[in-house]
Amino acid sequence: LANRILEVKMDGTVVDYSGTYEEYLRSQALAG
């Protein structure tokens, strides 16, 4: 089970999110 997400965005920034993928998706939905 993943508990850390590393996302590299198109502009080159890196998001290092500690949590489950479900929590990550929820945080992205809240962020817009």
Work out the angle at residue 25's Cα, subtended by the Cα atoms of residues 31 and 5, and round it to the nearest 5 degrees.
105
The gap between the terminal CA atoms of the chain, to the nearest Å, is 26
Work out the angle at residue 8's Cα, subtended by the Cα atoms of residues 25 and 31, and round it to the nearest 5 degrees.
35
Cα–Cα distance measured from residue 32 to residue 1, given in angstroms and rounded to the nearest whole number: 26
Q: What is the pLDDT along the chain (32 residues), one digit of tens a residue?
A: 779 999 999 999 999 999 999 999 999 898 87
Residue 2 sits at φ, ψ, to 5 deg, of: -75, 140
pTM, 2 dp: 0.60
